[in-house]
Amino acid sequence: MSNYKTCLLIDDNYIDNFVTRRILESGNFAEKVIVSQSATEAIEFLRSGKVKPDVIFLDIRMPMMGGFEFLQEYDKLEVEGKKDIRIFMLSSSLDPADLKKSTNNKYITQFIHKPLTQKTLDDICV
């Protein structure tokens, strides 16, 4: 049984998306995993109502619009159930400023270092 109905994965790296998606699917994390290789595209998905995620995994470093810029746009959205959406910053960044910025953001549930593992999934599903 899946823990969540819909998971949105936002990352510009094809290989990272492939690996993360496989882990999410093999761990039965969500009924549906939607991948967006662009934060701008993900904002449009959310704005249009095409995607109604329970969980978002968000990368920090992406071209055009990075993870923190995504969060600024996300803050402006009026999305049903927005307060219940869990957002995990999923990044390979080792920059302490990124960790601090994530910790201080009201939308970020947790900062997770790449790669995502089954153990990490098990820990966040508790």
- The residue ranking higher by pLDDT, 126 or 43, is 43
Question: Measuring CA to CA, which residue among 104, 120, 115 is closest to residue 11?
Answer: 115
Q: How many CB atoms lie within 10 A of CB 68?
A: 17
pLDDT tens for each residue of 37-94: 999 999 999 999 989 999 999 999 999 999 999 999 999 999 888 999 999 999 998 9
Superfamily holding 4-124:
Response regulator (3.40.50.2300)
